[in-house]
Chains A and B, each alone.
Chain A
Amino acid sequence: MPILEHLWIIPLLPLLGATVNGLLGRTWPNKIVNAVAIGSTGLSFLSALEAVREFFLLSPEQIPWVQQYFSWIAAGEFRAGFDLQVDQLTVVMLLVVTGVGWLIHIYSTGYMALEGGYYRFFAYLNLFMFFMLILVLAANYVLLFVGWEGVGLASYLLIGFYSLRKSAADAGKKAFIVNRIGDFGFMLGMFLLFRTFGTLDFVKLFDKVTPMSPEAMGHLGTMTVAGLLLFMGAAGKSAQIPLYVWLPDAMEGPTPVSALIHAATMVTAGVYVVARSHVLFMRAPTAMLVVAIVGCATALFAATIGLVQTDIKKVLAYSTVSQLGYMFLACGVGAFSAGIFHLMTHAFFKALLFLAAGSVIHAMGGEQDMLHMGGLSKKIKWTYFTMLTGTLAIAGIPPLAGFFSKDSILLSAYQSENGGPKVGHILYAAGLFTALLTSFYMFRLIFLTFFGKERYDEHHVHVHESPKSMLVPLAILGLLSIVGGWLAAPAFWGGPDYFAKFLEPVFAAPGAGEAGTAEAVAHALETPLAIVAVITALAGLLAAYWLYVKQPSKPDTLAKSFGGVYRTLYNKYYVDELYAAAIVRPLLWVSTNVLWKTIDVATIDGAVNGIAEGATAIGDGTRRTQSGNIRSYAVWVVIGAIVVVAVVFWPPMKPVLGVVR
């Protein structure tokens, strides 16, 4: 088991790449930078593949496979080591991160070819891969948090990659700060878990938790609080209500970054953490319900905003927020494997969509507004085909990947008993409506971009197909978006859901005995629900077709007649403005007027300067006594002598003597 014993190789390779490129790459030609960046991630992908091959040879008792490399923090009872762990969940994440990451690296060599700071971009991208791999391989919460913060750093650096543009720098800061709010909760959650169970190692912690019943810690007990705190962190990283505001702004970064970090991998870290902590969440029904409701609300909320955005990347960004909401909905109703399944398929088709959008932007010479595109389908055929594949996948048209993963989430939501069956049905209805909206806004994107009249100035924009280095990753991701869901396909004709089967050792449900009847019911429901879902998706498609191809003038009339609704959606429900008014501006006011002007300038600087000024004033006053005139000094001596004599010999002055003694 060479690689499994040396798991550290997998994350170390991208770190080496980042170091070499970051320190030495400035003067190198692009080709060498490419070789280092693609080589390191490619090798990392290959070692991950080899590790997975070896993983399949392990016997079930050896899973989860934990390797302890060295103790990092040891304090009393507490130990946090550089320990890496592989189980079925890690395998999925590992392959998604290294595989999709590698493809996006290849794509970036084409996309970034003419940009400045080429070596810097790839150094950051490799650094991101390192931290993301640490995150998914970590065997305890502390090491996971290292990766968690590290990807946040890489995300910040890459959002602000065009650092000369103020909006990019601001977006980077916004992402970083909003994530810190979530991380605060995550850390509190870790502290609470350590306080309660005395360990943060996944295996030990979950072994202690497993025997407990859901009621062991009370309805609103430690489990619920810990779960909610962890979810707070997850909501920050995975852009859920109320902390989603950073993700749309993160589109300021280069498009491959949006694909890799802000769609396929980093933002799914929150889902991964919730799935990883499923043992805790299963024993905290209230926390689960909160996760499901927040996820569902985010899915619906973001989808409605996505309906009217005109920036091609903004549409995809809101779509990502919405799909992440789906994943949390799945986790919240206890269908963790469905959530991870959607995470995987989403990584394929959303990375594809972003990269294809990047290809469109590339072709248009930097134009991102869909209202200035149109009719591109003939000019950039390959981009069009791949993007259409991604759209069909995300809209949930069978037999593409998104159909299977979304269907299993909706099915689980429909069956959810947590908080009563009504809640489950409401979640299902909201999820289904979101699916309709998803299909609509994605096809709106397609029709606006690739169909209809050309709405750009042909003399200035020379539409051209992208280079091979960009098209090949698109083709591979397109293929994955088609076949990625087939792992679960046999479930439709009574066969096993291979993906869920594979993850079963991780997510083994506590009441496995009753699974037989539940499965039968599930199977009976599966086909009708799937048909409903497909009809919904087709309805979205047709609506978009009718509005944006058949009657191109209709959307404007609609927007006018529903002016209030349209403006609210177009301005993203004014959430940014609300946060600015409710949080940012009061904070700024307090910082300026209290912290800065009152405490810093007035109190601290005032005290320091005051002491200095006081000393100067006293000196100014007393320097008059040093006249240089010897006889005036003599007067002082005489006065002193008189005072001493008076104190000693004059009876009324006696008390002074007492004080002096």
Chain B
Amino acid sequence: MVPTNYYLVLSAILFGLGVLAFIFKRNVITIFMSIELMLNAVNLAFVAFSQAMHKLDGQVFVLFVIVVAAAEAAVGLAIIILTARNRQSLNVERVDLLKL
């Protein structure tokens, strides 16, 4: 059996990639995907712990996360489409109305 540590390291690597992509990418779709990547990295950690501890709580959590991610994708994509129509661009640097 694969030791839990391996899963955790993989999860950490995936999460780190997600963070870096979130920070450095400009395309809003890519950023969105990097968020999904981070979520799934966490899911992986949950599942790994669930298996290691012989409890189902982690798997239940994962199901919740997937549902939330799906809902988020629906809302997020709608926002992205509207933004793209308004700005004619998917570049997040153009979307800076929150600035003072």
User: What is the chain B residue whose CB lies nearest that of A632?
Assistant: B23
Number of A residues contacting the other chain (C-beta, 8 Å)? 10
Q: B92 contacts A629, CB within 8 Å?
A: yes
User: What is the chain B residue whose CB lies nearest that of A638?
Assistant: B19
Q: B23 contacts A627, CB within 8 Å?
A: no
Residue A630 CB within 8 A of the other chain: yes
Residue B52 CB within 8 A of the other chain: no
User: Given that A629-B92, A631-B92 are contacting pairs, would A623 and B22 also be in contact in the complex, using a CB cutoff of 8 Å?
Assistant: no
Please give, as numbers and ranges, the residues of chain B lying within 8 Å of A638 by CB-CB distance. 19, 23
Q: Mark B4-35, 1 if CB is under 8 A from A, else 0.
A: 00000000000000010011100000010000
Please give, as numbers and ranges, the residues of chain B lying within 8 Å of A629 by CB-CB distance. 92-93, 96, 99
Taking the closest CB of chain B, its distance from the CB of A631, in whole angstroms, is 5
Taking the closest CB of chain B, its distance from the CB of A646, in whole angstroms, is 15
Residue A612 CB within 8 A of the other chain: no
Taking the closest CB of chain B, its distance from the CB of A638, in whole angstroms, is 6
Give bound CA distance, A626 to B98, whole Å: 8
Residue B53 CB within 8 A of the other chain: no
User: What is the chain A residue whose CB lies nearest that of B19?
Assistant: A638
Taking the closest CB of chain A, its distance from the CB of B13, in whole angstroms, is 15
Q: A628 contacts B23, CB within 8 Å?
A: no
Give bound CA distance, A635 to B93, whole Å: 15
User: What is the chain A residue whose CB lies nearest that of B26?
Assistant: A631
Give bound CA distance, A464 to B96, whole Å: 91
Give bound CA distance, A634 to B18, whole Å: 12
Give bound CA distance, A381 to B77, whole Å: 113
Which of the residues A623, A626, A631 comes within 8 Å of B23, measured between beta carbons? A631
User: What is the chain B residue whose CB lies nearest that of A631?
Assistant: B23
Give bound CA distance, A192 to B76, whole Å: 84
Which of the residues B19, B24, B100 comes within 8 Å of A626, measured between beta carbons? B100
Q: Give residues 55-100 of B contacting A (CB, 8 Å).
A: 92-93, 95-100
Which of the residues A627, A634, A635 comes within 8 Å of B99, measured between beta carbons? A627
Q: Give residues 373-405 of A contacting B (CB, 8 Å).
A: none
The size bracket of the interface on B is: 10 to 19
Q: Mark B26-53, 1 if CB is under 8 A from A, else 0.
A: 0000010000000000000000000000
Please give, as numbers and ranges, the residues of chain B lying within 8 Å of A630 by CB-CB distance. 92, 95, 98
Please give, as numbers and ranges, the residues of chain A lying within 8 Å of B99 by CB-CB distance. 626-629
Q: A628 contacts B97, CB within 8 Å?
A: yes
Please give, as numbers and ranges, the residues of chain A lying within 8 Å of B100 by CB-CB distance. 623, 626, 628
Q: A635 contacts B23, CB within 8 Å?
A: yes
Please give, as numbers and ranges, the residues of chain B lying within 8 Å of A635 by CB-CB distance. 23
Q: A628 contacts B98, CB within 8 Å?
A: yes
Taking the closest CB of chain A, its distance from the CB of B90, in whole angstroms, is 13
Taking the closest CB of chain A, its distance from the CB of B59, in whole angstroms, is 25
Taking the closest CB of chain A, its distance from the CB of B22, in whole angstroms, is 6
User: What is the chain A residue whose CB lies nearest that of B93?
Assistant: A629
Please give, as numbers and ranges, the residues of chain B lying within 8 Å of A623 by CB-CB distance. 100
Taking the closest CB of chain B, its distance from the CB of A628, in whole angstroms, is 3
Q: A631 contacts B22, CB within 8 Å?
A: yes
Taking the closest CB of chain B, its distance from the CB of A625, in whole angstroms, is 10
Give bound CA distance, A203 to B98, whole Å: 82
Taking the closest CB of chain A, its distance from the CB of B52, in whole angstroms, is 19
Give bound CA distance, A248 to B75, whole Å: 91
User: What is the chain B residue whose CB lies nearest that of A635?
Assistant: B23
Q: A634 contacts B22, CB within 8 Å?
A: yes
Taking the closest CB of chain A, its distance from the CB of B65, in whole angstroms, is 18
Taking the closest CB of chain A, its distance from the CB of B93, in whole angstroms, is 6
Give bound CA distance, A130 to B13, whole Å: 97
Q: B23 contacts A634, CB within 8 Å?
A: yes
Q: A627 contacts B96, CB within 8 Å?
A: yes
Q: Give residues 598-639 of A contacting B (CB, 8 Å).
A: 623, 626-631, 634-635, 638
Give bound CA distance, A131 to B31, whole Å: 87
Taking the closest CB of chain A, its distance from the CB of B36, in whole angstroms, is 15
Give bound CA distance, A631 to B34, whole Å: 12
Give bound CA distance, A635 to B24, whole Å: 10
User: What is the chain A residue whose CB lies nearest that of B25?
Assistant: A631
Give bound CA distance, A635 to B22, whole Å: 9
Give bound CA distance, A166 to B90, whole Å: 77
Please give, as numbers and ranges, the residues of chain B lying within 8 Å of A626 by CB-CB distance. 98-100
Taking the closest CB of chain A, its distance from the CB of B26, in whole angstroms, is 8
Please give, as numbers and ranges, the residues of chain A lying within 8 Å of B95 by CB-CB distance. 630
Please give, as numbers and ranges, the residues of chain A lying within 8 Å of B23 by CB-CB distance. 631, 634-635, 638
Give bound CA distance, A630 to B32, whole Å: 12
Q: B92 contacts A628, CB within 8 Å?
A: no
Which of the residues B19, B22, B31, B96 comes within 8 Å of A628, measured between beta carbons? B96
User: What is the chain A residue whose CB lies nearest that of B92?
Assistant: A630
User: What is the chain B residue whose CB lies nearest that of A641?
Assistant: B19
Give bound CA distance, A631 to B95, whole Å: 11
Taking the closest CB of chain B, its distance from the CB of A641, in whole angstroms, is 9
Give bound CA distance, A6 to B25, whole Å: 98
Give bound CA distance, A628 to B100, whole Å: 7
User: What is the chain B residue whose CB lies nearest that of A633?
Assistant: B98
Give bound CA distance, A638 to B22, whole Å: 11
Give bound CA distance, A638 to B16, whole Å: 10
Please give, as numbers and ranges, the residues of chain A lying within 8 Å of B31 by CB-CB distance. 631
Give bound CA distance, A179 to B24, whole Å: 81
Give bound CA distance, A629 to B100, whole Å: 11
Give bound CA distance, A635 to B95, whole Å: 17
Give bound CA distance, A634 to B26, whole Å: 13
Give bound CA distance, A320 to B95, whole Å: 89
Taking the closest CB of chain B, its distance from the CB of A619, in whole angstroms, is 10
Please give, as numbers and ranges, the residues of chain A lying within 8 Å of B22 by CB-CB distance. 631, 634
Give bound CA distance, A596 to B95, whole Å: 53
Please give, as numbers and ranges, the residues of chain B lying within 8 Å of A631 by CB-CB distance. 22-24, 31, 92
Taking the closest CB of chain A, its distance from the CB of B96, in whole angstroms, is 3
Q: Give residues 67-125 of A contacting B (CB, 8 Å).
A: none
Q: Pick 12 A–B contacts, CB within 8 A, sort by A.
A: A626-B100, A628-B96, A628-B98, A628-B99, A629-B99, A630-B92, A631-B23, A631-B24, A631-B92, A634-B22, A634-B23, A635-B23
Q: Residues of A with Cβ closer than 8 Å to B?
A: 623, 626-631, 634-635, 638
* Given A626-B100, A629-B93, A630-B95; 8 other pairs, CB 8 A cutoff: A628-B97, A629-B99, A630-B98, A631-B22, A631-B23, A631-B24, A634-B23, A635-B23
10 closest pairs, A vs B, by CB?
A628-B99, A628-B96, A628-B98, A631-B23, A634-B22, A623-B100, A626-B100, A634-B23, A638-B19, A635-B23
Q: Residues of B with Cβ closer than 8 Å to A?
A: 19, 22-24, 31, 92-93, 95-100
